[in-house]
Chains A and B, each alone.
Chain A
Amino acid sequence: MGIRFILMVNKQGQTRLAQYYEWLTLEERRALEGEIVRKCLARNDQQKCSFVEHRNYKIVYRRYASLFFMVGVDDDENELAILEFIHLLVETMDKHFGNVCELDIMFHLEKAHFMLEEMVMNGCIVETSKANILSPIQLMDKAH
């Protein structure tokens, strides 16, 4: 229900972060990622609509610099809200890493995951306040 998966993929098609909320085998995941990325990359040159329909769900995507943020949602989900959520995610990461870029996510993959976990659980949005999201992570960093 709600969000099925969240992907961050760069322009060459390499996955930088993948979080799935439903079970897919490894081959399925790779195939899925490949298809979606190809669709989004092709579209980006010409049109500007951020929603793509793929099989039985919708992909809401947005491009930030060199990274594509793609969220796969159910058909009944509010797409504009998901777009806002992507922006919120980016802003949260920005606040934590300071001017976040793709390399930050790559080299601190586990922190990116922690942040995402605080925000989304089981496909539903849990927390939307940046302060609340970042406090456990900052606590962890401070302890070390």
Chain B
Amino acid sequence: MNPFSSSTRLRDMIRSIRACKTAAEERGVVRKECADIRASINENDPHDRHRNLAKLMFIHMLGYPTHFGQMECLKLIASPGFPEKRIGYLGLMLLLDERQEVLMLVTNSLKQDLNHTNQYVVGLALCALGNICSAEMARDLAPEVERLIQFRDPNIRKKAALCSTRIVRKVPDLAENFINAASSLLKEKHHGVLITGVQLCYELCTINDEALEFFRKKCTEGLIKTLRDITNSAYQPEYDVAGITDPFLHIRLLKLLRVLGHGDADASDLMTDILAQVATKTESNKNAGNAVLYECVETIMAIEDTSSLRVLAINILGRFLSNRDNNIRYVALNMLMKAIAFDDQAVQRHRVTILECVKDPDASIRKRALELVSLLVNENNVKQLTKELIDYLEISDEDFKEDLSAKICSIVEKFSPEKIWYIDQMLKVLSEAGKFVKDDVWHALIVVITNASELHGYTVRALYKAFLTYSEQETLVRVAIWCIGEYGDLLVNNVGMLGIEDPITVTECDAVDVIVDAITRHNSDMTTKAMALVALLKLSSRFPSISERIKDVILKQKGSLLLEMQQRAIEFNSIVERHKNIRSSLVERMPVLDEATFNVRRAGSLPASVSTMAKPSVSIPNGVSAAPLVDLLDLGSDDILAAPSSSSGADFLQDLLGVDLGSSSAQSGATPAPKASTDLLLDILSIGTPSPAQNSTSAIDLLSTADMNNNSSTALDTLSSSAQPHIATTASAGGMFDLLDGLSPSPSKEATNGPAYPPIVAYESSSLKIEFTFSKPSGNPQTTNVEATFINISPNTFTDFVFQAAVPKFLQLHLDPASSNTLPANGGKVTQNLRVTNSQHGKKSLVMRMRIGYKMNGKDVLEEGQINNFPRGL
């Protein structure tokens, strides 16, 4: 019986399935057919098996379960006739896979078939083995396959070669057996065998290093010769595709050459000729030619450097880029990304074309072009590129806006030449695509804003204007209300106008309007509303004239349905009403968030970043979005701030209050870059290294004086204007302390009653001498004020002078800012005040370890010592 007459009944089934109008009908037909097939299987009728299997395959393709047919496959394979075997193997490959245990039963049949006399049967078995064999089957049947690689028929040889590829992949240990066989395959003439031989070698090289060495030494020249033959060969009608003889073989050979040449200079040398020939002679007006060129370019990129070849490659890519065909352009963009790694200049030449590609209507090309552009950005072209990208952001599709805005933000952050430009660009991005901007991006923006003190006024005015036009963008709204809350007074009083701005008049009412709008709008989410409440609190202390209105708004939020809002409203309300005296100190200006630490921390917390800090990730939002709360609870809320603590837990509170700074400052280095052990929040709020610590100390000192002065607006002004000097790089700046000294009664000048103690020379080395003089403030015998004088006794000037001290646990240490951090040579002096509190006063005397860092002649010097000669009784 003609087994392929089964197609009449198969055809009937297909017809009936096609005739079904609904899915339910189709399911019915399929179910009926399956039932028939199952009945037929049970009858064990050999004639219909193949037909059944063909039908099963069709049904499987449609997506219905067909596992009841698997044993049928096995029976078909075991039958002697070729057509049955054919269908059986086909069914095997389609319906089964390597994980099924049924496959083990087939191993024996496969073995017999591999030794069959009919070469087509052998071919079938090899095919099946090659497609789905598992590791055990591979081990069992590997020797057979090895033998077959040397078979006389090329068809069998090629199939055996591919089968071995799979075996080698499944069981890498067997690779050695195949090396010799593979190298003999490379000398074949038959293209099919050659292609599969090349593939086998490629696989062996990737898996096994010895194989790689072997092939590199023995076979490179042979391969090059083969490639040359093919390139120069005459027209072969069988293998010709669009004028090139067997482009597939070209490509495979080039791929293998790539692996052989990568990392090896000799092999690469041998290849340069043929690569140049292929690159120049291949026609590129057909796709086949372009495919070969593409592979050639990839190979040139991967092998060892020959600059002339690389120039050639990039020229080819340039030609690809201007090609009309989208596919070619896509491929070129892909390759250019790899090319940037070693030849940036050449790629820069094509920048304009690449920018055009970002705007292409095709989504794949756009994506690739955008990635490429972000790699191309450097300091020179960043402004123009960003301008173009932002222009495009306005007109791009919604789904692309997210990628585009993320890329623009990262470019702007990395390369911004000045802060004002950075803020401008970010504002534009937020206005256009705010809802796609991620949280850490706008947190970073806020960090930058706080650092750019001269731009506070400009920023808040720009944000105000932007808010009026683009108030749907959530992130823009958030940044705007934060800034208005912080710098509302600058907004209203037009402080800090830059030359390029037009003056606008914003009354306090307008500012509050903005925030009230943000709260009451129905599509603001909880974070925005919460931030708005905090901003209102800040404004209620900065704008005392409309604090009534603000109070009303806050009161209204008491009844909000969101718990967070209720809680905040009630707390803020009580502050506004009953605690006016601490209100201003609670909402004083945020201390400058330290950019350097923020960036390093953030880079460490982002998994995909380039930073080399593989340190723990306390996520930034903890630090920054907790900022409004920390603002409020500056003076030591343990619970919130304790959360991100990774180092000293109990010392936290003391660290925050600037006490026991000695130990934590000795932990962290002399430079602003933090070690991971110091806490995120400490770093961000610039506590934990001595110089910024002095900021917080003086802030707290100022606060206490402000309290004593009973909170007039003048105190507020002194607070806010003294906040300006806080904005410095973390190395202590000289000028700032003059202001502070002028403002606050410096603690060291407090009345020094009590017994006088002799000054001591705390430390002396060849270049530096330190003297301590002591005094005790009245009323507190445990506290000692120490004035430390550092004297430069070397002939060189010291710069960036930093003094750090550590004390044991029963002592508490305050460090005030030094008078300057430059010591002129030969006797230049710097003074610094310390306050030490001895909880074991009378029982133990003072002892201190100190570390001094400074730069002398451009070199960093570090000196350490212990001071044991404090007078007793301190």
Contacts and interface: CB of A to CB of B under 8 A. Distances in A.
A84 B288 contact: yes
B14 A106 contact: yes
B363 interface: yes
Nearest to B50: A110
A1 to B, nearest CB: 7
B585 interface: no
A57 interface: no
B63 A84 contact: no
B14 A79 contact: no
B86 A80 contact: no
B87 A121 contact: no
A81 B86 CA distance: 30
A81 B61 contact: no
B661 to A, nearest CB: 51
B290 interface: yes
Interface in A2-37: 15-19, 21, 23, 26, 29-30
Central interface residue in B14, B158, B294, B327, by most chain A CB within 10 Å: B327
B365 interface: yes
B327 A47 contact: no
A100 to B, nearest CB: 16
Given A79-B327, A81-B251, A84-B291, A121 B162 contact: yes
A47 B166 contact: no
Question: Chain B interface: which size bin?
Answer: 35 or more
Contact of B251 (A29, A78, A110, A130): A78
B14 A84 contact: no
B687 interface: no
B555 interface: no
Interface string B342-376: 00000000000000000001111101000000000
B11 A107 contact: yes
B330 interface: yes
Interface stretch (B241-249, B576-584, B729-737): B241-249
A75 B287 CA distance: 19
Nearest to B367: A53
B824 interface: no
Contacts of A47: 326, 361-365
Central interface residue in A1, A50, A110, A114, by most chain B CB within 10 Å: A110
B2 interface: yes
B239 A128 contact: yes
B99 interface: yes
Given A84-B287, A136-B123, A109 B58 contact: yes
Nearest to B249: A128
Contacts of A19: 94
Interface in B53-70: 54, 57-58, 61-63, 65
Contacts of B93: 117
B165 interface: yes
Central interface residue in A19, A106, A127, A136, by most chain B CB within 10 Å: A127
B88 to A, nearest CB: 11
B533 to A, nearest CB: 43
Interface in A112-144: 113-114, 117, 121-122, 124-132, 136, 139-140, 144
Given A49-B330, A49-B365, A127 B192 contact: yes
B101 to A, nearest CB: 14
Interface in B239-266: 239, 241, 246-249, 251-252, 255
A30 B23 CA distance: 15
A6 B290 CA distance: 23
A130 B364 contact: no
A114 B239 CA distance: 20
B131 A140 contact: no
Contact of B248 (A84, A114, A121): A84
A128 B326 contact: no
Contact of A80 (B4, B131, B165, B290): B290
Contact of B295 (A50, A53, A81, A124): A81
B86 A140 contact: yes
B127 interface: yes
B404 to A, nearest CB: 17
A18 B90 CA distance: 13
Question: Chain A interface: which size bin?
Answer: 35 or more
Contact of B99 (A23, A81, A106): A23
Contacts of B362: 46-49
A129 B239 contact: yes
Contacts of B246: 128-129
A126 to B, nearest CB: 6
A132 B863 CA distance: 82
A131 B190 CA distance: 13
Given A1-B169, A47-B362, A128 B191 contact: yes
Nearest to A15: B61
Contact of B238 (A1, A121, A129): A129
B162 A124 contact: yes
A122 B130 contact: yes
B557 to A, nearest CB: 46
Nearest to B6: A110
A101 interface: no
Contact of B287 (A21, A80, A108): A80
A83 interface: yes
B291 A81 contact: yes
B192 A132 contact: yes
A88 interface: yes
B128 to A, nearest CB: 9
Nearest to A136: B120
Contact of B83 (A106, A121, A136, A140): A140
Nearest to B294: A80
Interface in B287-308: 287-288, 290-291, 294-295, 298
Contacts of A136: 120, 123, 155
A83 B62 CA distance: 26
Interface string B1-14: 01110010011001
Given A47-B361, A131-B238, A126 B159 contact: yes
B331 A80 contact: yes
Contacts of A140: 82-83, 86
Interface string B365-408: 10100000000000000000000000000000000000000000
A43 interface: yes
A129 to B, nearest CB: 4
Nearest to A80: B291
A80 B327 CA distance: 8
A108 B255 CA distance: 36
Interface in B198-228: 199, 203
Contact of A113 (B90, B329, B367): B90
A126 B58 contact: no
B61 A17 contact: yes
Given A81-B248, A124-B162, A140-B86, A51 B330 contact: yes
Given A78-B251, A131-B238, A124 B199 contact: yes
A114 B54 CA distance: 13
A18 B203 CA distance: 26
A30 B63 contact: yes
Nearest to B18: A106
Interface string A46-87: 111111110000000000000000000000001111011101
A49 B14 contact: no
B475 to A, nearest CB: 28
A50 B131 CA distance: 27
B33 interface: no
A135 to B, nearest CB: 9
Contacts of A85: 248
B709 to A, nearest CB: 65
Contacts of B86: 114, 140
Closest 5 CB pairs of A and B: A80-B291, A47-B362, A49-B326, A23-B97, A129-B238
12 contacts: A15-B63, A19-B94, A26-B65, A46-B362, A48-B326, A49-B362, A78-B294, A80-B290, A84-B247, A107-B14, A125-B248, A130-B238
Given A26-B63, A125-B248, A144-B2, 5 more contacts: A84-B248, A85-B248, A107-B10, A122-B165, A129-B238
